[in-house]
Amino acid sequence: MSEIRKVRGFQDIYGENVKKYRYVVDTARRIFEKYNFQEIILPYVEDVSLFIRSVGEATDIVQKEMYIFEDRGGRKVALRPEGTASAVRAYIEEKLYTKGGYQKLFYEGAMFRYERPQAGRYRQFHQIGAEIFGVDSPIADAELIKMVKDILDNLNIQTRLEINTLGDFECRKIYVEKLKAFLKEREEYLCEDCKKRIERNPLRILDCKVESCKKITEDAPVLTDFLSDRSVERFEKIKEYLKGLDIDFVVNPRLVRGLDYYTDTVFEFITDKIGAQGTVAAGGRYDTLVKQLGGPDTPALGFAAGIERLMLLIDNIPEGKPLVVVIPVISEFNLQGLKVSQMLRNKGIKTELILKEGSLKSRMKLANKLGGKYVVFVSEKPELKDMSSGEQEIFQNLDDIIDVLEEKI
Ligand code: ATP
Ligand code: MG
């Protein structure tokens, strides 16, 4: 019979990779908790219109990347391509705004986008992300960026931080008209995708990776020249706070992000080490989105980071707890082996009882292969072997071995 294979763009994460995955998530989780964010577990399936109304009708995600299907009840649903839209929906639907003050949420999990698979780009990928609802102050922008930086620092990942401001809704409208006029004059030199984007999503053209488009937009009007005083002030404050926190950054006036909902602050943490897929974490403000989706007028901001991209940048993860391997020397000692293993585990020690019977030699080999740091031989005269030094010692009874191991580990 023919073998069934995984679907293109989807991956199994196992072995060392799953350790890296957990290391990334556990590290992020620790930092989120330090900043007093609360976890929210969001559904993987949402009404399609949620993404059309938030991410944006004309964006790549909505135009060509969503997994959309009709469920058996005839509902048109999508596998979530990102987390912010769901977080906003939940904020409104669960009336989190009635809890007073502001809300700081984090999430973790799979996202789905029908993209061309390559290193660092998959059709199912995973993100960690966080959102802050109900804070207008630029303190929040600075603190959010600092938190992302903390996560990256803790993972020992070097990146450069780029920031920009897209201005508020009003100044952006004026700018977009200017930009459109500029692009229309040069339409014939743009790539096919960008030609279509002039009307629908001209800002996105500034983010196009095609060389000829990059060249043309070099001389395009920049948003910075159209910003309102309020936007300029906010941006200045954020820069001041970041400097005060000793966070290096560059202002990239062409940084626009691929999603429609951003206002004012946008930022990306970028690396050159993994090719074109260089953005590892990205985010910004979206002050109009909550209202746009039917909630109360609520300023908000957030970020998301791709776990697989972070994994690509991690060389080694801290060693886990040392492994103790238990070998009953002959089968008469199997039950005792089971019991000793249990006692070790009760003490919090990572323990592998060799489950195969056979020659002592073959089971020692197995212990080695499993990466055992200590081996306990269960017999009338129990022994403990330290695999790194090779030292082996005979004990009066197993309890003494357990005591010694507890002390060492
Ligand atoms: P890109 O420009 O790389 O397509 P994006 O702007 O679409 O990224 P966002 O929607 O902001 O990305 O998602 C935040 C992060 O999620 C990205 O910075 C990246 O680390 C990760 N990410 C996005 N799409 C994918 C994907 N298809 N595969 C793996 N990771 C992804
Ligand atoms: Mg993308």
CA distances from 278 to 187, 266, 282, 304 (A): 28, 16, 11, 14
pLDDT tens digits along 326-345 = 999 999 999 999 999 999 99
| Numbered ranges of CATH 3.40.50.800 in the chain | 323-408
- As a whole-number percent, the residues of the chain with pLDDT over 70 amount to 100
Cβ of residue 309 lying under 6 Å from some atom of ligand 1: yes
Tokens of 79: 């596998």
- For residue 306, the CA-to-ligand 1 centroid distance in Å is 6
Residue-level pLDDT at 253 = 86
State which amino acid sits at residue 130: A
CA distances from 245 to 148, 189, 212 (A): 13, 43, 38
Kindly give the residue spans of alpha helices, DSSP state H, lying in 104-260: 138-154, 169-185, 192-200, 202-205, 211-217, 229-244
| Numbered ranges of CATH 3.30.930.10 in the chain | 16-168+228-312
Mutation test residue for ligand 1: of 79, 107, 108, 125, the one with most atoms within 8 Å of CB: 125
- As a whole-number percent, the residues of the chain with pLDDT over 90 amount to 85
- For residue 122, the CA-to-ligand 1 centroid distance in Å is 9
The fold of 16-168+228-312 is BirA Bifunctional Protein; domain 2 (3.30.930)
pLDDT tens digits along 351-391 = 999 999 999 999 999 999 999 999 999 999 999 999 999 99
Cα–Cα distance between 57 and 76 in angstroms, integer?
A: 16
- For residue 216, the CA-to-ligand 2 centroid distance in Å is 22
Instruction: Indicate left, alpha or beta for 120 from its phi (over 0: left) and psi (-120 to 50: alpha).
Output: left
Residue-level pLDDT at 185 = 94
Mutation test residue for ligand 1: of 279, 286, 311, 313, the one with most atoms within 8 Å of CB: 279
Mean pLDDT (the chain) is 95
Cβ of residue 197 lying under 6 Å from some atom of ligand 1: no
Q: For the chain, what's the residue count? A: 409
* pLDDT tops 80 at residue 180: yes
Cα–Cα distance between 56 and 201 in angstroms, integer?
A: 9
* pLDDT tops 90 at residue 224: no
The fold of 323-408 is Rossmann fold (3.40.50)
- For residue 378, the CA-to-ligand 2 centroid distance in Å is 56
